[in-house]
Amino acid sequence: MPDSSTTPINANHRTIAIWLLSCCAVIFGMIILGGVTRLTGSGLSMVEWAPIMGILPPLNQAEWQETFLLYQQFPEYQIKNFHMSLDDFKSIFWFEYGHRLLGRSIGMIFLLPFLYFLFRGKIEKSLTPKLITMFILGGLQGLMGWYMVKSGLVNDPHVSQYRLTAHLGLAVVIYAYMFWVALGLLYPKINDTHKNADNKIARLSSIITGIIVITILSGGFVAGTHAGFAFNTFPLMDGRLIPAGLFEQSPLWRNFFENIVTVQFDHRVLATVLFLVIPAFWIKAGKFNLQPLARMGSHLLLAALALQITLGISTLLLVVPVALAAAHQAGAIVLLTAALFVSQQLHRQTVTTAPH
pLDDT reading at 228 higher than 70:
yes
What pLDDT score was predicted for residue 5?
47
What pLDDT score was predicted for residue 49?
81
Angstrom distances, CA of residue 332 to CA of 3, 47, 191 = 28, 29, 33
pTM of the shown model = 0.92
C-alpha Rg value of the chain to the nearest Å: 23
- Alpha-carbon distance of 204 to 184, in angstroms, equals 19
pLDDT reading at 2 higher than 70:
no
Secondary element (H or E) of residue 288: strand 288-289
> How many percent of the chain have pLDDT more than 90?
84
pLDDT tens readout for residues 313-353: 999 999 999 999 999 999 999 999 999 999 999 998 766 66
- Exposed, middle or buried by CB within 10 Å (0-12, 13-18, 19+), for 26? middle
- Quote the mean pLDDT of the chain: 91
DSSP tag of 353: E
What pLDDT score was predicted for residue 353?
62
More confident residue, 95 or 355: 95
pLDDT tens readout for residues 250-298: 999 999 999 999 999 999 999 999 999 999 999 999 998 888 999 999 9
DSSP tag of 79: I
pLDDT tens readout for residues 183-224: 999 998 876 544 444 588 999 999 999 999 999 999 999 999
Secondary element (H or E) of residue 289: strand 288-289
pLDDT tens readout for residues 33-72: 999 999 999 999 998 887 766 688 999 999 999 999 999 9
- Alpha-carbon distance of 261 to 259, in angstroms, equals 5
